[in-house]
Amino acid sequence: MPFQPEPAYTHGQAPRTAILLCNLGTPDAPTAPALRRYLGQFLSDQRVVEIPKPLWWLILHGIILRTRPAKSAAKYASIWTPEGSPLAVWTSKQATLLRGWLGEAGHQVLVRHAMRYGNPSIASQLDALKAEGATRILILPLYPQYSGTTTASVFDAVYTWAARTRNVPELRFVNHYHDDPGYINALAATIQTHWKHHGPPDKLVMSFHGVPERTLHLGDPYHCESHKTARLLAQRLGLQKDDYQVTFQSRFGKAKWLQPYTEPTLIEMGQAGVGRVDVICPGFTGDCLETLEEINQEAREAFLHAGGKEFHYIPCLNDSNLWITALSRIAQQHLGGWPTQLPDAAALADAQAHARAGGAPAGACPVAH
């Protein structure tokens, strides 16, 4: 595999520590062509669709990418904001706030965000960090619960970039933080704030993104980690087992996925006389299509049509102070042992002078001259 050109580098440049926040991705616009590009990349990932590649290629390009982009574009258009895709907006804000929180804690680190699918890509942001002098990079996925379909796919993209890079920075990866106390407290505070203004519901539904059931039997910990998040959150809220329900949404295709499914469960609740449900999506750290359209529009309509009286969607963590505080602490735990201060100005000037005095050619180490 050929190496890609290295970003421009100046000898004597200060080595930096960096964090790359990674999220799933979003199309560039709520249009059919943009959705076709995005879905083509997303659904071509064999971590996402584990069907033999030749067969899936025919299905994807012969059916799905001919019919689904226009339908998905209409859904995205219903939640698009003047700033763009909600997921892109929240992810960017989280990166900016994380940089500020870490700076206040005394850590002068570079922070960028990237999307596994769409823009900005993981490879482009790693290139940018390397060009800024990053020699140590922490990869921090915005997925609290580990799944091969999400977290591992982010790692794949990083490994692919590294395989084409000659001078690879030190890399660390955050696998999960589904049971992190700060994350749980941030979720609880979001719910408690909602209940303070609206009172408690008849039932709290915690809806997680679904994955095929076979992934559970193959060893993926996502199902267990989702349930642990729900249990810890319920304990933090003082709920009894009958007060809440864990469900899984976003089923795709005909295979059996993790159950119970969110929308059918809400329909059953409406038919059974449950008057009010509140729905929160703990696995999503920022609001996106799956929360704003699938839950707050489609699931709401299904519940009310089935006889439910009141449906409340509780927003994701987004830019809440408790969440950014938790995220900064998670980052600091995984940065342990790495220098996070800029080098002394005098030492940096000396290194730059040494490089100039050595007359080193481009790409050569000044220490050897």
Question: What is 181-313's CATH number, 3.40.50.10470, 2.60.40.10, 3.40.50.10800, 3.40.50.1400?
Answer: 3.40.50.1400
Residue where the block lists tokens 């709520």: 30
Check whether 290 is labelled as a binding-site residue: yes
| Residue ranges of domains in the chain | 16-178+321-334, 181-313
CB-CB neighbours of 158 under 10 Å: 20
207 three-class SS: strand
| Token reading at 286 | 């920022």
Q: In CATH terms, are 16-178+321-334 and 181-313 the same topology?
A: yes
pLDDT tens-place string over residues 47-63: 999 999 999 999 999 99
Per-chain mean pLDDT for the chain: 92
User: How deeply is 45 buried, as exposed, middle or buried, from its count of CB atoms within 10 A (0-12, 13-18, 19+)?
Assistant: middle
Cα maximum dimension of the chain? 81
Distance CA 292, CA 273 (A): 25
Indicate the range of 171-175, 209-213, 328-332, 353-357 predicted with least confidence.
Answer: 353-357
User: How deeply is 11 buried, as exposed, middle or buried, from its count of CB atoms within 10 A (0-12, 13-18, 19+)?
Assistant: middle
Distance CA 188, CA 142 (A): 18
Indicate the range of 18-22, 128-132, 159-163, 343-347 predicted with least confidence.
Answer: 343-347
Distance CA 138, CA 151 (A): 14
Query: Is 0.75 surpassed by the pTM of this model?
Result: yes
Distance CA 229, CA 282 (A): 8
pLDDT tens-place string over residues 261-313: 999 999 999 999 999 999 999 999 999 999 999 999 999 999 999 999 999 99
**How much of the chain, in percent, has pLDDT values that exceed 90?**
87
Please name which of 279, 262, 274 lies closest in space to residue 308, comparing C-alpha atoms: 274
pLDDT tens-place string over residues 190-244: 999 999 999 999 999 999 999 999 999 999 999 999 999 999 999 999 999 999 9
Number of H helices, E strands in the chain: 14, 8
pLDDT at 171 over 80: yes
Domain range 16-178+321-334, CATH class: alpha beta
∠ CA 323-328-333 to the nearest 5 degrees? 125
Check whether 268 is labelled as a binding-site residue: no
Evaluate whether 270 touches 308 at the Cβ level (below 8 Å): yes
- Give the pLDDT of residue 316: 98
Cα 88 versus chain centre, distance: 10
Residue 63 makes CB contacts below 8 A (sequence gap 6+) with: none
Residue where the block lists tokens 């993209």: 157
Evaluate whether 77 touches 51 at the Cβ level (below 8 Å): no
> Stretch 161-171: mean pLDDT, rounded?
97
Strand order in the sheet with 16-26: 110-118, 16-26, 134-141, 170-173
Question: 352 phi and psi, to 5 degrees?
Answer: -65, -40
- Is the dihedral angle over the CA atoms 321, 152, 46, 33 positive or is it negative? positive
Confidence category of residue 253, pLDDT binned at 50, 70, 90: confident
Residue 357 makes CB contacts below 8 A (sequence gap 6+) with: none
23 three-class SS: strand
